[in-house]
Structure 1
Amino acid sequence: MDSSKSGFVGSQVELRCIFINSNPPVKISQVTWQKLLNSTKQNVAIANPALGVSVLSPFKERVGFKQAAVRHRPPSLEDTTIVFSNLQLSDEAAYICEYTTGQKRKMTVATCVSANGKPPSVIKWDTRLKGEATYQETHNQNGTVTVRSNYVVIPSRETHKQKLTCIVMYRSERITDSVVLNVQYEPEVMIEGFDGNWYLNRQNVQLTCRADANPPVTIYQWKLLNGSIPSNVEIKNNTLFFKGPVTYDLAGTYVCDATNGIGTRTGSVDVNITGR
């Protein structure tokens, strides 16, 4: 990205964002542009291989991805430069280009040390986590041995809140210590509320965006693919309240973008209306 960009009110400016992929390439699962102002993040534009490109209000009419390949199927997401047109004073802010990738790496999540033992201790791990333990012995000048063991896993939502217990065996002693993992992960999103039975004139229907995330979701953004959210819909955080009777105009694919400090993920639901 460029460290800074400037432009005149009413003019056009490009915000460059290029992802230098590795070999073999990592899978890009989403690209999200965000506006950062006064510690608050606001989604600007999202490119998702499965759901396509979306630009959110109030940027919808003035922001677009420069490369047409971003809109192709499948898209090319290495260059997700965006173009701002008709600049406004309110556009002045910091902008974040965030890539969410599918690369998974093993990491050390806990370390257990038994220092200055003679003979050396034996370290074991007790956990339901699927991981690997590494062991290292350091021979000290005074003849004692320090044993260090790292427990290595691929961090994921499944590893969050899992318990790891280190067991140190020294002669006839058995010493244990435990830790509960706090693993941060981007939201896993699903939309509830459509039961397949939205019929004409039905009352009090709603859609709710549920997200499992750590840290918790701070921003929910709703949109209707190939259209605008109907005027009789009230948006309150993660819920769409459909006021009045159901009409055919409510049909379509509703999309919820949920954002936490790690990233943005998307959920969708296809709503159809029956004439019952």
Structure 2
Amino acid sequence: MSTKVFLCPFFTVMEKVCLLLSLFSSCSLGSPGQGVQTGPKVTTVAGSSNVRLSCIPPPNVTITMINWKKDNWQGDPQERRNIAVFSPNFGLSFPNGPYKNRVNFSSRTVKDDASLILSRVKPGDEGVFICEVSTFPHGNFEGKVTLDVLVKPQVFLNLTTDLREGNVSTMVAVCEARGGRPKPIVVWEDLGPAFNMTEGRENRSRIGETWNVLRELWTIPERSSNRQAVGCTVKHPAFVGQLLKLTEALSIVFPPVITAITGYDHNWFLGRSHVSLKCHVDSNPPSTIGWIRINGSLPKGHILVEQQLQLDLPLLLEHAGTYVCTASNGLGHARKEVTVVIADKPLHTRTSPGGVWVLLGGVAAILLIIAFVVTTAIVCCRLRTRHKPAEHISDGDLNTKFPNTQPSASSPHVPDISAPLNIEPDVTGQKPSKLTPYYDTDGTNGESWGPLDEDKDKRNCSSLQQQYQTTASRPYISPSAHYV
């Protein structure tokens, strides 16, 4: 936004006329197309190297002077002070004051671009800067630029030391944002679902143009909160992403507690070696751990490695007994024992998990191979049966298989009826009767035998011949299907 101030010059008759007209209305010898152009509000962080305050003079005018001023000088709204001056005749001038050596024009052609460069920005630089352009014969024009200076706060997260386990609410951490402008916002985050925050007090104080904000974290110290992370987040426009986060872990001291002794699997036997007992201790600060054996000393050749008691030599019956783990850290003591029995022989076979998986894998592989072989054999047999050619029997094979038959070309399965009959004598002494074969013509392929006399023999032969001719006219039937 710009404001124009008109001044009537007094040089010629024209100026006198202007003065006369100014009594009734404003006077201008021709106004420029536009006033001073300034940029929007500028926001920067204190300590920045350079900040640009934009000012473009109106075009097509004769510039006699350009003057940068600071409004509200040292808090006085009625006072303005020059901080940079340009004259086409006399050049540049930077009056003494807090801005000397910190301001300069950004362009060599100031009449075209009168923007000002301010370096080493301070919180006190915040305010309104005025770019005033004096022209002939149109008078003075001015534009204003507002500068906002942010002060980045310093953030500190301090944890209370020597926090002891107890049942009283205690301040465990303090998060402070110091010297921020505008006022920073401090919050606690990432405390975890199990963290029981009893209070979150906040203190605010203003020092000059900056703010200090301090927030406390209160809780009941418990061993479950040891190594619990607490996060402090400070929100401020001067930070990248407008926030800064610090995280620390609580340290709560408590006496030792032995949670378990591992290593003894109830299968220690004579000759077994490379066994160990491990003592699991929870304490802060860390405890000093020791091993003893009730009613005896520790076995010869034992090795103490941190929390473990190692027995690498083969076990003997004398190694049995009650072993005790002791722990102390200055806040208290703890002990836990385990009774070890040495057996004559192993109670059970110990198989490592890796061996079990290898065994199961081998069995599965064998089953897959067997299934593949069986499936392949079945498929091959079916394919061979499906594509096997039909069996062909030649006449020679037929004569070999059935030597008493003389098949014809049309009916190879009909026997020769001229062959002599084999008549066995009657065991009763009676005259044997003749038997002649009778071929069933109803398609049952059966044979029926009955006694025949000589008179009927010829008639039967004639009937057989007729049956032969009838049978010969039938389709071919395989001998294997006709004879049983």
TM-score by length of 1: 0.48
Q: Which has the higher contact order (CA 8 A, sep 6+)?
A: 1
Q: Which structure has the greater CA radius of gyration?
A: 2
Q: Please state which structure has a larger fraction of its residues in helix.
A: 2
Q: Please state which structure has a larger fraction of its residues in strand.
A: 1
TM-score by length of 2: 0.30
